[in-house]
Amino acid sequence: MSFQVFRAFCLLAVLVLFMPAGAQEAEPEIATETGEAGAESQAQAQPAEEAGEESAPVAAQAPSLEQAYQKEFAFLQGQKRDLERRIADFEAASEADLEQLQVDIRSLERQVVEATSRGDRLEDQVFESERSVESARDNVNLLANTFLQAEAT
């Protein structure tokens, strides 16, 4: 984008540089007061008076500069439209990515809840298994004591 800004700046600089030159040809008295440029403008003023055709290229040059400006302006408008389209595309893609990430987050949250629930169920099963093992040991001990008492009698 800096190239386009530089290009626009150069175009404006060219316009500014050519506008005083046209003004000097139109008003040679002002140019003579500036010093060095005075001799050049006097030399330019004499052929303009002699030929009379010199003013026609200057007049033709002004529309060409304006046309160049309009062409550059149209180019910059095209660049602006392109950038606005790219921004809109980027925003749409970002929105779609955001929605997809939110779907992924909800899916992962569901998986966490399921894993937590499964962990809780497994803990309950381990607890029940430990209780069953303890109950079975108690029963084995009770039976062993019963057999010992039966043998003793």
Q: How far apart are CA 110 and CA 112, in angstroms?
A: 5
Q: Token pair for residue 37?
A: 């440029």
CB-based contacts of 72: which residues, under 8 Å, 6+ apart?
7, 8, 11
Q: How far apart are CA 50 and CA 64, in angstroms?
A: 25
CA 57 vs CA 12, 25, 60, 75: distances in Å = 21, 12, 5, 26
The length of the chain, given as a count of residues? 153
CB-based contacts of 4: which residues, under 8 Å, 6+ apart?
75, 76, 79
24: confidence class by pLDDT, cuts 50, 70, 90: very low
Give pLDDT, residue 105. 98
152: confidence class by pLDDT, cuts 50, 70, 90: confident
- Which letter does DSSP use for residue 153 in this model? -
> Does residue 26 have a pLDDT over 90?
no
Q: Token pair for residue 22?
A: 């046209």
Averaged pLDDT of the chain: 78
- Model pLDDT for residues 121-149, shown as the tens digit of each residue: 999 999 999 999 999 999 999 999 998 88
